[in-house]
Structure 1
Amino acid sequence: MNKFTYKNEKNDAEYGMSALRNDLLEIRDLLENWVIWRDACHWDRFRTCWHPDGRMMATWFQGTPDQFIAISKEGFEKGVRILHFLGGSSIDIRGDRAIAQTKMTISQRAEVEGTLCDVVCTGRFYDFIERRDGKWAIYLRQPIYEKDRIDSVDPTKAPVLDPARLNAFPVGYRHLAYLQTAIGYTVKPDMPGLVGPEVDALYRRGDGWLDGKPAL
């Protein structure tokens, strides 16, 4: 019997697992390329990580991929440095849709109350991903902000923070928000954290996305 037409349950299962592995690898490449190309300012390549009608959510920005690229370029030219580092991923695929959760850190350096500081925020990228015309790309990226800290670059100095300003933001990203507002950004005050109604709602939207419902 022609081996290319013979089918049985074992071959079907192997083909299915192979296709799944390929999808998982393509999505993981997508997630890693996003970070490398964004931080390296490879904007033309970075744009390919997105669907054109996608949306980026961050503490300091919410908008389309092209808007995000434009404001990121503008900030970089002014000396803003926001960098990312990735950890492991968990990816759920259903048909042509996927939800990916990826451990990450966001780091930013700037002056805070006259002292040069680094803020490091630990969390997850929660991505709504879709395959269109055979290609996986991000439709919506919503970070989850779990915890953060601030450190002076010079260990002999320490900034004196305003407690009221610091505590006005959720615990998961209050130091990041403090720095970003200090350099002129408007920070969204209700981003998802490790626990709480915002992250619970995000998980429900993720489940709905896999069921074919809108992400927004």
Structure 2
Amino acid sequence: MEAKLQALLDEADIRRVHIRYCRGIDRMDWDLVRSCYHPDAIDRHGAYNGGVEGFIEWAAELLPQFESTQHFTGNQYVEVQGDVGFAEHYAQARHRTRPDGERPAMDWVVFIRYVDRMERRHGEWRIADRMVVLDSQRSDPVPDGQAPLENSNVGRRGKEDPSNGYRIV
């Protein structure tokens, strides 16, 4: 029974790393993103392939170009053996571009899988090696004049996001 409980705890910890990563990316909280990786981790994101610090620099330059991003995670498959884990997270990464001259704002959605080798070091699960697999993508123009719903708490990038007022840690 104790081994099964430990397996469940390990799987939950690994899933939490992924959710923390998504939040960090969408809020552009680079310290939170960094906390998901071991310092010597490799990230194969397609357009970027290399170490974690280079990935964060790349993302910090790329993501502010979007009006917003939202990573939505679906299925999460996790295997654990000792201090090594495999995780495959199915996700939709939504990106809202800004209008540019005659080009309208666009909603660009990529359907991806994060394929991770996870390692527990010093009692903490983090990404050791990540590959982002692109399954498909689409891009749709945002209708003219589409404004947030009246009285909405509009999401913001960074520390100004309304969710930060509810954080307890």
Residues 66 and 96 in structure 2, CA contact (< 8 A), matched pair in contact too: no
Equivalent of 1:25 in 6, 9, 12:
12
Structure 1 residues 19-98: aligned runs within 5 Å: 19-79=6-66, 81-98=68-85
Q: Give distance in 2, aligned partners of 1:153 and 1:59.
A: 26
TM-score if structure 1 supplies the norm length?
0.60
Q: Give distance in 2, aligned partners of 1:139 and 1:49.
A: 9
Q: Which runs of 5+ in 1 are unaligned?
A: 1-13, 157-216
Q: Give distance in 2, aligned partners of 1:71 and 1:82.
A: 15
Equivalent of 1:126 in 115, 132, 150:
115
Q: Give distance in 2, aligned partners of 1:97 and 1:128.
A: 7
Per the alignment, residue 166 of structure 1 pairs with none
Which has a greater percent of strand? 2
Q: Give distance in 1, aligned partners of 2:131 and 2:30.
A: 20
Classify the secondary structure of the residue corresponding to 2:8: helix
Instruction: Tell me the percent identity.
Output: 26
TM-score if structure 2 supplies the norm length?
0.75
Q: Using the TM superposition, give the Cα deviation of residue 51 of structure 1 relative to its aligned residue in structure 2, in angstroms.
A: 0.6
Q: Which runs of 5+ in 2 are unaligned?
A: 146-169
Q: Using the TM superposition, give the Cα deviation of residue 124 of structure 1 relative to its aligned residue in structure 2, in angstroms.
A: 1.3
Q: Give distance in 2, aligned partners of 1:122 and 1:57.
A: 16
Larger Rg: 1
Residues 30 and 56 in structure 2, CA contact (< 8 A), matched pair in contact too: yes
Classify the secondary structure of the residue corresponding to 1:115: coil
Classify the secondary structure of the residue corresponding to 2:58: helix
